[in-house]
Structure 1
Amino acid sequence: MTWTVPMVAHTLLDAENRRQDLGRFTDEWAELDLDVAYQIQDETLARRIMRGEHIIGVKLGLTSRAKQQRMGVDAPLTAWLTDAMALGSGAPVPLDSLIHPRVEPEIVFVLGRPLAGPGVTATSALAAVAAVHAGIEVIDSRYRDFRFRLADVVADNASSGRVVAGSVALPPQGLDLALEPCVLHVNGEVVHTATGAAVQGHPAEALALAANTLAGRGITMEEGWCVYTGGLTDAVPLAAGDQIVAEFGHLGSVTVTGE
């Protein structure tokens, strides 16, 4: 089969809507590289906007060294967040709209002013941040068994599903985000611990990387956008009845339940 950018975008959105997983496009389309994958990602965003969604920010994927090594890559990836992906803190996750959801704890930035690369550093990125939140991302790959190559997952908007930000909002000044602790509980049991350093050594490094990467595509990060900086721990499955809590040292906690 000869694939095109619009065809893959349509197929991915259709799989998401029908909750039907797919095989990898890279198995059939040798020309699917990172540049084409980001074109597909932008095409799916355009289609989301056409159906009434609007951009609320961006997310990063593969920000931890362990996940990069597992995927055989040396840099994170970026993807889009829209209002349809956002859940209120404490809201149940609608499992009937997802395929095989998994949960990751994250540190979330909300921008107080626009941020544009190139040349953004962690320090200059952090200066653009109005507030820091605890967060949870519910990832949901459209690929069977979460098996994909890098171009596949970029095209699939970095396995976007749902995002939840905690109610505590703190200014970044005075926070040592590299040392910010996080404990992930599943049904009352501690399953993972980490600090903010798990994300590129410091979450602000991920924010700077997002700004510089998007600048290469002519995109400025806007005031008010939220930025989910990447999973601090491995993702854990979310099933009906599960309660997953990400408890941070200074940023409070975030809870999701499967329903």
Structure 2
Amino acid sequence: MPDTALHLALAEDLLAAYVSGEPIPPLIDAHPELTVEDAYAVQLEQVRHWQAGGSAVRGHKVGLSSEAARRQIGVDEPDFGHLLDTMFYAEGEPIPTARFLQPRIEPEIAFVLRKPLQGPGVTLEQAADAVDHILPALELVDSRIRDWRISIVDTVADNASSGAVVLGATPVPVDAIDLASAPCELHLNDVVIETGDSGAVMGSPLNSLVWIANKLGEMGTALQSGHVILSGSITRVSPVAPGDHVTCTIDGLGAVSAVFS
């Protein structure tokens, strides 16, 4: 039987960390019996709390989309989190680092859907057909778990270590670039600190979209029209601090920038 009381208690611990600004010990330390299914239940308790407070789900993010990241954490598939409307910042809008506990930045390709998409059984062709356009994106990842000492259970419970999102301004058709090999650069204060290509995301970010559509479908949930799907980091993550200016450039997609106050 699901331990809903425990799920709620752990969700409250994580929610309290947002308020206090103090990370908490890994959940798995005190509760080694927790499963990934438990962790998603904890995540959903927080989403319900945010929705009750007036926030709306605007999309999802895929985490652990690279083989190296999955190997590091000891799992064989990605994870996902929810994107709330309160997480989105416009380009040029200062992002207050004090709102976050342990912020890091990563470059991504974002899909914006023109129609709902629900698995299981979603194919690459169906996923591409559901996309209205793609954008370069910067995801600010954050952890409410002390020192980023996360297991798969910890990061899933912590809404897949979500923080904030900045989207590029110019929509591009999904078939306008080769999603399997689009070069990417991450600039920190005008210095290139990371390079990669979009194939690092499950061979193609479109595979990431297929994965989350089918994963959510197994759980009885659909991706909705207008929703934003972050497909996963193209490069390694980088810490950010007040005063930093970060730009992601992706060939064929253009650039997106974020500034931190």
**TM-score, reference length from structure 1:** 0.97
| Counterpart secondary structure, 2:139 | strand
Q: 2:93 & 2:84 partners in 1: Cα distance?
A: 17
- 1:130 correspondence with 2:127: no
Partner of residue 77, structure 2 = 75
Q: Partner letter of residue 77 of structure 2?
A: A
State the distance in 2 between where 1:251 and 1:174 align.
Answer: 9
Q: Distance in 1 between matches of 2:135 and 2:91?
A: 11
| Structure 2 segments unaligned to the other structure (5+ residues) | none
Structure 1: 5+ residue stretches without partners: none
8 Å CA contact 1:90, 1:254 repeated in 2: no
Secondary structure of the residue aligned to 1:214 is helix
What letter matches 1:178 in structure 2? Answer: A
Alignment map for 1:30-109 (pairs within 5 Å): 30-109=32-111
Q: Tell whether the 8 Å contact from 1:123 to 1:204 is kept in structure 2 after alignment.
A: no
Match in the other structure for 1:249: 251
Structure 1's consecutive aligned runs of 4 or more residues displaced over 4 angstroms after TM superposition are: none
Equivalent runs, 1:1-259 vs 2, <5 Å? 4-259=6-261
Could you tell me whether the CA contact under 8 Å between 1:133 and 1:251 is conserved in 2?
Answer: yes
CA distance in 1, matches of 2:257, 2:195: 16
Counterpart contact for 1:17–1:97, Cα < 8 Å? no
**C-alpha displacement of 1:177:** 1.1
Post-superposition shift, 1:73?
1.0
Q: Please list the CA deviations of residues 73-109 of structure 1 after superposition, one character each: whole Å capped at 9, or x if unmatched.
A: 1110011001011111222211111111000000000
- Work out the number of aligned pairs and report it: 258
Counterpart residue type for residue 170 of structure 2: V
Report the 3-state secondary structure (helix = DSSP H, G, I; strand = E; otherwise coil) of the residue aligned with 1:103.
Answer: strand
Shift of 1:178: 1.2
Deviations 1:140-171 (A, max 9, x none): 10011111110111000011100010001011
SS in 2 for 1:104: strand
Please state whether the residue corresponding to 1:4 is helix, strand or coil: helix
1:34-72 Cα offsets, whole Å, 9 max, x none, are 010000111100000001100100000000111111111
Query: Do the aligned partners of 1:60 and 1:228 also contact (CA within 8 Å) in 2?
Result: yes
Offset at residue 180 of structure 1 (A): 1.4
Distance 2:59 2:19 in 1: 21
User: Any conservation in 2 of the 1:56–1:226 contact (CA below 8 Å)?
Assistant: yes
- Asked if the contact 2:176–2:252 (Cα under 8 Å) also holds between the matched residues in 1, the reply is no
CA distance in 1, matches of 2:228, 2:176: 20
CA distance in 2, matches of 1:208, 1:17: 35
The amino acid that maps onto 2:237 is A
Q: For 1:113 and 1:175, how far apart are their aligned partners in 2?
A: 21
Deviation track 1:161-212 (CA, whole Å, cap 9, x = no partner) reads 0001000101112321112111001111111111110100000100000000
Quote the offset at 1:122 in angstroms.
2.1
Question: Identity percentage over the alignment?
Answer: 37
TM-score for the superposition, normalised by structure 2: 0.96
Partners of 1:148 and 1:173 lie apart in 2 by: 36
Name the aligned partner's letter for residue 224 of structure 2: E
Residues 1:174 and 1:255: Cα distance change in structure 2 (over 3 Å)? closer
RMSD in angstroms over aligned alpha carbons?
1.2
